[in-house]
Structure formats: structure tokens, C-alpha cells
């Protein structure tokens, strides 16, 4: 199979490129390197460029007959999206539309989309299944939700078959230690906690201890990056077998609090991690836990690393290997 991975130099995309290569696919990564890393692309062909560039897209699609496109490239920071919504709608929505139109012109009709739990907004019930209302509460979530809507319309109009995968909290690292999480700036809890364990940051700030949760800190559903890759791989099989367009929530169905993450990280690393209490971060729901049963039942997805300790251990091995 010939697969185009857009955003293949980023955290999740780079793990996917490695997975596809291991499975024997011909992989092309397209990434503008605005946040990705060239050296994280461990296999296949690399093209530096932007999905905003229609000329580049048409020559790419003319030169290679892709069986499917996986789209990981987007801006991902909720707070930034509130401050600069135009940037999020342009990059995450308009540029994705450009990509989809290039696919239509080239008659490429299989698409796997990185969506997010943020499309649901404030949970009405938990765990969150696919029937849960989608009422995003920030431009980041809305931008992903808009693309989900576009995908449905494009299926109706020209038969685009897509799978939207709504990640809860992507975490962990390649078990062989070759890849991991490297955002700049880093905003995610687990890498920040591990950087504090390593002494690269003075402490970890806990954003709010007064939530309606067992220990007062926010609860999230952390899902190993390799398990996300497995879900993409299964979604690709589904589309290759002429499966219908669909959307799945990806999480383990178990929530861990910020404090539990810190406690687990202390056990895994054997270090004591300085903690500072900080105010709530705007827009953080108290609890976000996925009901991932549909992906298990319909795609045959079985997460291999559901255990938080393993997720953190893999992230720690990666963190320690970093300069």
C-alpha cells in the first residue's frame, strides 16, 4: 500500500510512519516542519511542504497513486486557539479542505483523520461514547468538529470514505525508544512531569485541586501512542475493505487524576517530583474518559499498553534519552 502521512514528522505521525513501514507500506511523509522534526521520520520518503500549497499537492498526487491519506497535521493548543482563532480555522479547517480537494482531483478516496475528545466539549455523561453530543467549547475543538462535518458532506458528494479517530490523551513513546513526544512549547502533563523528575523544570504545576473528582484534580484517559497507531492501522484495513465512513473514540476507558499521574511518575522514575498548586486552567473539564467499545467491536482494536505505569515508563525512557 502507498500511504501519504501528512504531519508525519510530529509526535503521533512519526510513530505512525514507523508502524506503516514495519507493515511493509510505501510511506510518504508531507510535513512543513513548523512543529515536527525531520529526524523523527525514520522511514519512507520525506517531502517538506505545506498542505496550503495546492501546486505541491497536485504534483505529489500526480507522481504517486496513494491508496489512502492519514492527516495528523494541525495546531493543538486549546489556549492558543482561544487567543488566535483565525490561525486555527485557517490551518486546521481551510488547509484540510485544500488537502481534501486535492484528493478529490486525484481521485484518492480514503482518509483517516486525527480528531479529538475536544469535539465533545463539556461532558454531559461519562464515559463518552460516540453518541455523546458534540458541542466543542473552544476554537481548537470546533476546528476538528468542522472537519468531521466536512468529511460527512464529502462522502455524500463524491464518495470520500473517512475514519475520524477522536483521541483522548495521547501519551507514552515508542517502546523501542527511538521516538517520543517533543512539543515546543510542551504543554502536556506527562512530559512536563517527567521533565520535572529529571530536574529540567523546577516543578510541576497542578492546575486546580478543587474539581469534583476523588482527589480534586482533573481526570483524563491516557492512551498509549502505539495503541493509537494500531487503531489507525485497523481503520486503514476497514477502508481498504470498502468499509463505510465512521468515527471512533479512542481511550482505555479508565481515568487517572493529575495527582495519580504524578504519583505513578514518582514510582516509575524513583525520583521525587516537586509539585506546586496553581489555579485551574481555563477550559479544562473535570473528567474526560472515553468509552472506546465501538473501536474494539467494529475495528477489532485491543490496546496493548493500557497500563498507566507502562505508558509513563516508555515516556520516561524516551525523556532520559533526550539531550
* 188 or 271: CB nearest ligand UFG: 188
| Gap between the Cα atoms of 29 and 26, Å rounded | 10
Range 167-186, binding ligand UFG (CB under 6 A) = 169
Give the active site residue among 140, 167, 211, 305: 140
Considering only 207, 243, 263, 275, the residue that binds ligand UFG (CB under 6 A) is 207
When binding is defined by CB under 6 A, the residue of 206, 229, 289, 295 that contacts ligand UFG is: 206
Active site (annotated) includes residue 140: yes
Residue 44 · residue 86 · CB < 8 Å: no
Q: Does 194 bind ligand UFG (CB under 6 A)?
A: no
Q: Is 275 exposed, middle or buried (0-12, 13-18, 19+ CB in 10 A)?
A: middle
The CB-of-217 to ligand UFG minimum distance in angstroms stands at 7
The one among 173, 192, 223, 311 contacting ligand UFG by CB under 6 A: 192
DSSP 201: S
Sign (positive/negative) of CA torsion 301, 77, 258, 14?
Answer: positive
Supply the minimum distance, in Å, between the C-beta of residue 187 and ligand UFG. Answer: 5
User: Cβ closer to ligand UFG: 29 or 81?
Assistant: 81
Among residue numbers 104 through 163, which ones bind ligand UFG (CB under 6 A)? 116-118, 140
Q: Which is nearer to ligand UFG, 178 or 201 (CB)?
A: 201
Q: Does residue 220 belong to the site contacting ligand UFG (CB under 6 A)?
A: yes
Asked if residue 259 binds ligand UFG (CB under 6 A), the reply is no
3-state SS, residue 20: helix
Q: Is 195 in the site for ligand UFG (CB under 6 A)?
A: no
Residues from 82 through 101 that contact ligand UFG (CB under 6 A): none
Helix (H/G/I), strand (E/B), else coil: 196: helix
Q: Which is nearer to ligand UFG, 182 or 220 (CB)?
A: 220
What DSSP designation does 117 have? G
- Shortest distance, CB of residue 189 to ligand UFG, whole angstroms? 4
Identify the residue among 12, 154, 258, 295 touching ligand UFG (CB under 6 A).
258
Count of chain residues binding ligand UFG (CB under 6 A): 21
Question: What is the CA 53 to chain-centroid distance, rounded?
Answer: 23
Cβ atoms of 138 and 283 within 8 Å: the answer is yes
> Is residue 76 a contact point for ligand UFG (CB under 6 A)?
yes
The residue whose grid cell reads 489507525 is 232
Q: Does 189 bind ligand UFG (CB under 6 A)?
A: yes
On whether the CB atoms of residues 34 and 100 are closer than 8 A, the answer is no
**Are 252 and 303 a contacting pair, CB within 8 Å?**
yes
Is the C-alpha dihedral spanning 125, 127, 129, 135 positive or negative?
Answer: positive
Of 83, 140, 108, the C-alpha closest to 30 is 108
List of E strands, 90-225: 110-116, 161-167, 169-171, 204-207, 219-220, 222-224
Interaction with ligand UFG in 7-46: which residues (CB under 6 A)? none
Distance CA 202, CA 127 (A): 34
Smallest gap from Cβ 207 to ligand UFG, in A, equals 4
- Closest to ligand UFG by CB, 104 vs 201, is 201
Residue nearest ligand UFG by beta-carbon distance:
218
Grid cell listed for 254: 479508565
Which DSSP state fits 241?
A: T
Quote the least distance from Cβ 302 to ligand UFG, whole Å.
Answer: 23
How, if at all, do strands 246-250 and 26-31 pair? unpaired
Binding site for ligand UFG (CB under 6 A): 76, 78, 116-118, 140, 169, 187-189, 192, 204-207, 218, 220, 258, 281, 284, 288
Amino acid at each position: 500500500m502507498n500511504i501519504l502521512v501528512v504531519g508525519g514528522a510530529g509526535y503521533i505521525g512519526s510513530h505512525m510512519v514507523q508502524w506503516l513501514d514495519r507493515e511493509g507500506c510505501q510511506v510518504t511523509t508531507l510535513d512543513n516542519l513548523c512543529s515536527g522534526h525531520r529526524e523523527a521520520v525514520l522511514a519512507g520518503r520525506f517531502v517538506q511542504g505545506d498542505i496550503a500549497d495546492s501546486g505541491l499537492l497536485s504534483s505529489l498526487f500526480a507522481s504517486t497513486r496513494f491508496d489512502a491519506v492519514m492527516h495528523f497535521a494541525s495546531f493543538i493548543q486549546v489556549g492558543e486557539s482561544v487567543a488566535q482563532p483565525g490561525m486555527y480555522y485557517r490551518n486546521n479547517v481551510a488547509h484540510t479542505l485544500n488537502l481534501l480537494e486535492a484528493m478529490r482531483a486525484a481521485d484518492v478516496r480514503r482518509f483517516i483523520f486525527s480528531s479529538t475528545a475536544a469535539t465533545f466539549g463539556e461532558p454531559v455523561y461519562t464515559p463518552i461514547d460516540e453518541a455523546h453530543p458534540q458541542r466543542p467549547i473552544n476554537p481548537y475543538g470546533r476546528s476538528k468538529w468542522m472537519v468531521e462535518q466536512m468529511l460527512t458532506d464529502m462522502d455524500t458528494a463524491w464518495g470520500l470514505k473517512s475514519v475520524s479517530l477522536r483521541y483522548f490523551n495521547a501519551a507514552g513513546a515508542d517502546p523501542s525508544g527511538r521516538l517520543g513526544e517533543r512539543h515546543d512549547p510542551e504543554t502536556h502533563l506527562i512530559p512536563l512531569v517527567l521533565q520535572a523528575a529529571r530536574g529540567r523544570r523546577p516543578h510541576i504545576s497542578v492546575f486546580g485541586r478543587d474539581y469534583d473528582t476523588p482527589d480534586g484534580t482533573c481526570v483524563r484517559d491516557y492512551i498509549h501512542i502505539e495503541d493509537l497507531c494500531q487503531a489507525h492501522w485497523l481503520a486503514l484495513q476497514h477502508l481498504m475493505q470498502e468499509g463505510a465512513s465512521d468515527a471512533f473514540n479512542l481511550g482505555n476507558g479508565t481515568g487517572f487524576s493529575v495527582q495519580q499521574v504524578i504519583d505513578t511518575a514518582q514510582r516509575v522514575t524513583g525520583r521525587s517530583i516537586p509539585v506546586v498548586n496553581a489555579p485551574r486552567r481555563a477550559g479544562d473539564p473535570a473528567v474526560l474518559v472515553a468509552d472506546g467499545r465501538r473501536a474494539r467491536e467494529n475495528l477489532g482494536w485491543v490496546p496493548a499498553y493500557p497500563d498507566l505505569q507502562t505508558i509513563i515508563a516508555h515516556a520516561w525512557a524516551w525523556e532520559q534519552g533526550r539531550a
